[in-house]
Amino acid sequence: MSMLIFQIPEEMQAWALAQRAAGLRIGLVPTMGYLHAGHLSLIDAAKKRSDVVAVSIFVNPVQFGPNEDFAKYPRDEARDLALCREAGAAAVLLPPVAAMYAPDASVYVTEERLGNGLCGARRPGHFRGVCTVVAKLFNIALPHVAVFGQKDYQQAAVIRRMVRDLNFPLEVVVAPIVREADGLALSSRNVYLVGDERARALGLSRALQVASEAVAAGPCAAGEVRGRMAEVLERHALKVDYVEIVDAETLEPAAAAARGHVALIAVYCGRTRLIDNRVL
């Protein structure tokens, strides 16, 4: 079956309505492109839970701050389309910004609790942009199931909450982080790493490993574990943006580091901001 490529949201929506009318289950994988094995694992997870998989490739300007990397975010449409085809996607949405946002667009979706801390505190407006575009993608692709990666733990929590609170009729699936053999979590932004930064970036997964080992030895104060994680990050010459241990559901800071809590890290490795997390 050949893969359909839509640039116009309404055309994908018409396709989605036809799939539904034919009784088919639609799986959606929203992405910003520059696909890697992590994205392909999301397509795989969607395939297992649906009859036809739609992938969106859209670098969403609304979720980037004014001093962030929107303009230089890596793009490779031809390669992305080939990977989607190979992975068995039925349709891809690849819209220009103007097809997604009218010049006078004035409706946005905000989540007002889970998105306040962590990346939300460091990237004001980020989750408003994410919720808005994901709500739009849900209305365009009309999925029965949508798959996101655990790499963006807070994003997945915010989207689940949006789906619950706005009654989107779909299931959210969160697929595990895919890592390089040495532990580095796959990210489109890893392409920014130059010189010794690739090696230094291993500090994230190593710090999460230290947190996991600390908790395996018995519950301990979150502050103590965060301190040990920060030491690992500093040893790798990473500039800490945040190191947190939070409740897996509420994302509130935990007093004790214990099994089931989540350790989350954001750092700058040179000029590149990297995030990673691990359920303890």
Binding site for ligand PAF (CB under 6 A): 30-32, 60, 63, 130, 133-134, 152, 155
Catalytic residue among 36, 39, 126, 236: 39
Q: Report the distance separating Cα 245 and Cα 261, nearest Å.
A: 7
Cβ atoms of residues 93 and 11 within 8 Å: no
As measured in angstroms, the least distance from the Cβ of 205 to ligand PAF is 19
For ligand PAF, which is the closer residue by CB, 63 or 190? Answer: 63
Residue with the shortest CB distance to ligand PAF? 30
For ligand PAF, which is the closer residue by CB, 173 or 220? Answer: 173
Residue at token pair 């789906």: 163
For ligand PAF, which is the closer residue by CB, 33 or 203? Answer: 33
Q: What's the CA dihedral at 191, 194, 198, 199 to 10 degrees?
A: 170
What residues does 237 pair with on adjacent strands? Answer: none
Cβ atoms of residues 93 and 55 within 8 Å: yes
For ligand PAF, which is the closer residue by CB, 257 or 276? Answer: 276
As measured in angstroms, the least distance from the Cβ of 131 to ligand PAF is 9
As measured in angstroms, the least distance from the Cβ of 216 to ligand PAF is 30
For ligand PAF, which is the closer residue by CB, 134 or 140? Answer: 134
Q: Report the distance separating Cα 207 and Cα 232, nearest Å.
A: 6
What residues does 266 pair with on adjacent strands? Answer: 242, 275
Sign of CA dihedral 279, 183, 59, 31: negative
Q: How many CB atoms lie within 10 A of CB 211?
A: 28
Amino acid in position 118 = L
As measured in angstroms, the least distance from the Cβ of 152 to ligand PAF is 5
DSSP letters spanning 179-212: B-TTSPBP-GGGGG--TTHHHHTHHHHHHHHHHH
Tell me whether residue 261 is one of the annotated catalytic residues. Answer: no
As measured in angstroms, the least distance from the Cβ of 141 to ligand PAF is 12
Catalytic residues: 39
